[in-house]
Amino acid sequence: MNIDDHQVSKAELTNESTNNTAENVVTKEENAPEPKMIKVSDTILNLESRVKELTAQVQSLEQQKQGLTQEIKQLDLEHKMIPGGIQDIEQHIRLIVKEGLKELKQQKQALEISVEQLERRRDRIKEEMRTTFAGVSQDLAIRVQGFKDYLVGSLQDLAATAEQLELPTGETWCSSETIPSQSSSSGEVQFAPQEFETQTIKIKQLLEQYRNNPDYYGYPWQLRRTFEPIHAERVQTWFFSQGGRGAILSMGTRLQNILIASAIISVLNSLHGDRSRFLILANSPERLGEWRRGLQDCLGISRSDFGPEKGVVLFESPDALVLKTERLLEDKQIPLIIIDETEQQINLSLLQFPLLLAFAPDLQQVSNHLY
């Protein structure tokens, strides 16, 4: 037997066996019972539903995959953008810190300037306090002591001179006081009650008002300070006993003397208005400054009321005062000459003028010429 015959026989055998098997299967299928067919179909249906479920799950997973993929992409973009955002934030923070430091430096400089100004002001106040209280107090003590020594020497000289004088008798003194002045012929201002009754009544009314009803906020040139009976007595003596021309005893302090002079100035201003002019004579600028401040305080006037052509004129020299008074009289003005207590000698030319007020020092006590 050759190889071809063997192959043919093998193929035949295979076909026969296949046919027999198919016949057997068909026979079995034909002979199989019907319930087995139903079970197979149910299984197929279950498989189909299972396949659908798995397909739905696969689709859901695909959607989740797509969502996660998008989220991953978005996170990647954000991750790429974050470094730039941090840099911007850091830059803004640097700018804010820089501006804050600049503002703080400016505030520091302003505070340093303020502190420096306050320190200079403190040093200046300390210096003023040292010079005002320590130095001035020492200077005042020296001045008082010097004035005391001068006063003692003057009193000794005065006593020696008085021993050499021949004093007039009482009759001679009385007769000299009754000699009429030249005011009646020359028209000069006088305040004797028997000649000027109307003015006398007004003067008394004003002095009574100053004493009982002081007006501390009145108009300028009106007395604004408390007026005691002792002050009124000195003023009345000058007006009615001395006729507006003489010396009155000092009150012991320049402030009290200025108060008396202010009352007289206020009365004359009420009587004669702008025609009244007041000339102050003192031998030093310091004393004239005290007169100016005292008159401003007592009469409510200002610095503009002081000057060569103003209501009050201040003089250190009696010669200049005499010339000014003569010009005022030629202009029909009414000048009042006020002489400070410290004037040791009175120029005789001053005695020719109608209104003269001089403060005579009290020899029984050391006067205090300061406030």
DSSP string, 120-131: HHHHHHHHHHII
Give all strands (DSSP E) within the chain, no chain letters: 245-249, 276-281, 312-315, 334-339, 356-360
Q: Find the range with the poorest average confidence among 100-109, 158-167, 257-266, 354-363.
A: 158-167
Check residue 335 and give its pLDDT: 93
Q: Find the range with the poorest average confidence among 153-157, 178-182, 227-231, 310-314.
A: 178-182
Looking at the predicted structure, is the pLDDT value of residue 242 above 80? yes
Q: Encode pLDDT of 135-190 as tens digits.
A: 555 556 666 666 666 667 667 666 766 666 554 444 443 333 333 343 333 444 55
In order of 64, 106, 176, 332, the CA distances from 75 in angstroms are 16, 46, 128, 110
Amino acid making up residue 295 = L
Q: How far apart are CA 125 and CA 139, in angstroms?
A: 19
Looking at the predicted structure, is the pLDDT value of residue 291 above 90? yes
In order of 51, 71, 73, 74, 236, the CA distances from 61 in angstroms are 15, 15, 18, 20, 127
Structure-token pair, residue 204:
């008394």
Check residue 25 and give its pLDDT: 44
Residue 192 — pLDDT band, cuts 50, 70, 90?
Answer: very low
Looking at the predicted structure, is the pLDDT value of residue 349 above 90? no
Residue 196 — pLDDT band, cuts 50, 70, 90?
Answer: low
- The answer to whether the Cα torsion of 182, 187, 188, 190 is positive or negative is positive
Better pLDDT: 10 or 269: 269
Compute the mean pLDDT over every residue in the chain, rounded to the nearest whole number.
76
Neighbour-count burial for 141-173, b at 16+ CB within 10 Å, e otherwise: eeeeeebeeeeeeeeeeeeeeeeeeeeeeeeee
Our CA angle for 332, 338, 344, nearest 5°, is 135
Check residue 198 and give its pLDDT: 79
Q: How far apart are CA 79 and CA 75, in angstroms?
A: 6
Task: Please identify which residue in the block is written with the tokens 């006088």.
Answer: 190
Better pLDDT: 303 or 35: 303
Q: Is 245 strand, coil or helix?
A: strand
Task: Please identify which residue in the block is written with the tokens 């055998």.
Answer: 13
Q: Are 106 and 114 in contact (CB under 8 A)?
A: no
Structure-token pair, residue 109:
């400089």
Q: Are 367 and 253 in contact (CB under 8 A)?
A: yes
Residue 10 — pLDDT band, cuts 50, 70, 90?
Answer: very low
Q: Are 290 and 257 in contact (CB under 8 A)?
A: no
Check residue 212 and give its pLDDT: 86
Looking at the predicted structure, is the pLDDT value of residue 243 above 70? yes
Which residues does 219 contact at the CB level (< 8 Å), separation at least 6? 300
Q: Give the mean model confidence (pLDDT) for residues 299-327.
A: 90
Whether pTM > 0.85 for this model: the answer is no
Q: How many CB atoms lie within 10 A of CB 211?
A: 17
DSSP 8-state assignment for residue 306: B
Q: Encode pLDDT of 101-126 as tens digits.
A: 898 999 999 898 989 888 888 888 87
Looking at the predicted structure, is the pLDDT value of residue 80 above 80? no
Structure-token pair, residue 36:
């087995």
Check residue 163 and give its pLDDT: 64
Looking at the predicted structure, is the pLDDT value of residue 1 above 70? no
Residue 293 buriedness (CB in 10 A; 0-12 / 13-18 / 19+):
middle
Q: How far apart are CA 225 and CA 96, in angstroms?
A: 65
Check residue 35 and give its pLDDT: 53
Q: Quote the radius of gyration of the chain (alpha carbons, Å).
A: 63
Q: Are 284 and 248 in contact (CB under 8 A)?
A: no
Cα–Cα nearest to 343, from 357, 359, 356, 330: 359
Looking at the predicted structure, is the pLDDT value of residue 253 above 50? yes
Q: Give the mean model confidence (pLDDT) for residues 255-276.
A: 91
Cα–Cα nearest to 328, from 300, 356, 308: 308
Check residue 371 and give its pLDDT: 40
